[in-house]
């Protein structure tokens, strides 16, 4: 472990272009439930069954109730050492892109700026009629919030299963993966596309790949370095003592 951390640290120090892909595991130590862990259940519903356009079409009140619960919970959480270490890494690398699947906004709170929130942000809402987007940090939006402009039904401003990513954000994520010299893949189960395939893109471009996770994932075999452990412990070690 020690040797792997040191090799990764060396590779990062020599890399002028770095991309990082994060998932729910990075926010787990802040107390935000992951999607597929034992904590991914809400009222006996699997989070992954509610984050779909079909669930919203069937029962928007239930889906909003779930998102209000998540907003309330996330609103009480703050960034952890993993978020802070990634914000610090951004200051140390000339060309740095943080691609996150997390919608909790905690990377922004920690100070990350070259950030692509590819699955959106839980504090955004979008009108299903006119498409207008709003940013609202109210923990409880009610079970049937409506658009101030056209009274259409609002939906959470996140990307659900079966939906496409914003094409411009995806283009930027692919470009960052293509040009990076090192890609860190942190706290993601690597089962959701297209996020999971960004590691393949980076590998094809010749990047060194490193995974930080509590467990192995379907992408572990692709990795040059696998560090098993908590993101909030390993990432701070990587940025410690650079100067
Ligand atoms: P998952 O819940 O699928 O995976 C979380 C990963 O984090 C697992 O591989 C855990 O082993 C790992 N993990 C947990 N705690 C950790 C810690 N302290 N340090 C390091 N690793 C840890 O979450 P995602 O991969 O983010 O999409 O899920 C991807 C997407 O599926 C989400 O963005 C969401 C979800 O449904 C949408 O909502 C569209």
Query: Can you give the CATH number for the domain in which 106 is found?
Result: 3.40.50.1220
Does one domain contain both 48 and 27?
no
Coil, strand or helix at 128: coil
Distance (Å) from CA 51 to ligand 1 centroid: 14
Does one domain contain both 100 and 200?
yes
Domain count, the chain: 2
Examine the pLDDT at 40 and tell me if it is beyond 90. no
Examine the pLDDT at 37 and tell me if it is beyond 80. no
What does the pLDDT read at residue 113?
97
What does the pLDDT read at residue 132?
97
102 and 119 in contact (C-beta within 8 Å)? yes
Q: What tens digit of pLDDT does each residue of 170-219 get?
A: 999 999 999 999 999 999 999 999 999 999 999 999 999 999 999 999 99
What does the pLDDT read at residue 73?
95
Evaluate whether residue 128 is within a structural domain.
no
Does one domain contain both 69 and 177?
no
Evaluate whether residue 127 is within a structural domain.
no
Q: Ligand 1: does its nearest atom lie under 6 Å from the Cβ of 93?
A: no
Looking at ligand 1, which atom is closest to the CA of residue 119? 39
Evaluate whether residue 129 is within a structural domain.
no
The pTM of this model reads 0.95
Does one domain contain both 183 and 229?
yes
Evaluate whether residue 174 is within a structural domain.
yes
Q: Ligand 1: does its nearest atom lie under 6 Å from the Cβ of 219?
A: no
97 and 176 in contact (C-beta within 8 Å)? yes
Distance (Å) from CA 114 to ligand 1 centroid: 21
Evaluate whether residue 24 is within a structural domain.
yes
Q: Ligand 1: does its nearest atom lie under 6 Å from the Cβ of 66?
A: no
Does one domain contain both 179 and 65?
no
Long-range contacts of 204-209 (CB under 8 A, 24+ apart): 204/178, 205/177, 205/178, 205/179, 205/180, 206/181, 207/19, 207/177, 207/180, 207/181, 207/182, 207/183, 208/11, 208/15, 208/181, 208/182, 208/183, 209/182, 209/183, 209/185
Domain that holds residue 88: 2-31+79-119+165-239
Does one domain contain both 56 and 72?
yes
Evaluate whether residue 130 is within a structural domain.
no
Q: How far apart are CA 169 and CA 223, in angstroms?
A: 25
Does one domain contain both 12 and 86?
yes
Of 83, 107, 114, 119, which one is the catalytic site residue?
119
Catalytic: 114? no
Examine the pLDDT at 241 and tell me if it is beyond 90. no
64 and 91 in contact (C-beta within 8 Å)? no
Q: How far apart are CA 38 and CA 49, in angstroms?
A: 15
Distance (Å) from CA 130 to ligand 1 centroid: 32
Domain CATH for 71: 3.30.1600.10
Examine the pLDDT at 38 and tell me if it is beyond 90. no
Examine the pLDDT at 41 and tell me if it is beyond 80. no
Coil, strand or helix at 26: helix
Examine the pLDDT at 2 and tell me if it is beyond 80. no
Evaluate whether residue 125 is within a structural domain.
no
Does one domain contain both 91 and 140?
no
Q: Which pair of tokens denotes residue 182?
A: 């090192």
Q: What is the DSSP string of 32-46?
A: ---SSSTT-EETTEE
pLDDT level of residue 35 (50, 70, 90 thresholds): confident
Does one domain contain both 188 and 114?
yes
What does the pLDDT read at residue 46?
86
Does one domain contain both 100 and 184?
yes
Does one domain contain both 112 and 177?
yes
Nearest to 53 by CA among 156, 149, 152: 156
Does one domain contain both 95 and 16?
yes
Q: Whose CA is nearest to atom 36 of ligand 1?
A: 48
Residue 242's contacts (CB-CB under 8 Å, 6 or more residues apart) are: 13, 92
Q: Ligand 1: does its nearest atom lie under 6 Å from the Cβ of 231?
A: yes
Phi, then psi, of 222 in degrees rounded to 5 = -80, -20
Residue to mutate (ligand 1; options 187, 212, 223; most atoms within 8 A of CB): 187
Evaluate whether residue 126 is within a structural domain.
no
Q: Ligand 1: does its nearest atom lie under 6 Å from the Cβ of 159?
A: yes
Q: Ligand 1: does its nearest atom lie under 6 Å from the Cβ of 215?
A: yes
Q: How far apart are CA 186 and CA 149, in angstroms?
A: 39
Q: Which pair of tokens denotes residue 55?
A: 């669930």
Q: Check residue 235 and give left, alpha or beta (phi > 0: left; psi -120 to 50: alpha).
A: alpha
Q: Whose CA is nearest to atom 9 of ligand 1?
A: 189
What does the pLDDT read at residue 77?
97
Q: Ligand 1: does its nearest atom lie under 6 Å from the Cβ of 201?
A: no
């Amino acid at each position: 472990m020690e040797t792997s951390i040191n090799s990764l640290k060396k590779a990062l120090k020599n890399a002028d272009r770095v991309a990082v892909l994060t998932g729910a595991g990075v926010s787990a130590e802040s107390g935000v439930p992951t999607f597929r862990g034992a904590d991914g259940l809400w009222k006996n519903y699997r989070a992954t069954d509610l984050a779909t356009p079909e669930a919203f079409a069937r029962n928007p009140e239930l889906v909003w109730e779930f998102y209000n619960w998540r907003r309330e919970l996330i609103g009480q959480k703050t960034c952890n050492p993993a978020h802070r270490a990634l914000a610090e890494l951004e200051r140390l690398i000339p060309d740095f892109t943080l691609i996150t699947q997390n919608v909790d906004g905690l990377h922004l709170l920690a100070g990350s700026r070259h950030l692509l929130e590819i699955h959106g942000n839980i504090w955004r809402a979008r009108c299903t009629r006119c498409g207008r987007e709003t940013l609202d940090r109210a923990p409880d939006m009610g079970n049937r919030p409506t658009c101030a402009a056209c009274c259409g039904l609002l939906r959470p401003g996140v990307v659900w299963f079966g939906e496409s990513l914003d094409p411009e954000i995806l283009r930027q994520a692919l470009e960052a993966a293509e040009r990076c010299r090192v890609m860190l893949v942190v706290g993601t189960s690597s089962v959701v596309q297209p996020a999971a395939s960004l590691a393949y893109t980076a590998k094809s471009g010749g990047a060194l790949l490193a995974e930080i996770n509590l467990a192995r994932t379907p992408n572990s075999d692709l990795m040059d370095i696998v560090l098993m452990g908590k993101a909030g412990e390993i990432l701070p070690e990587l940025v410690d003592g650079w100067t």
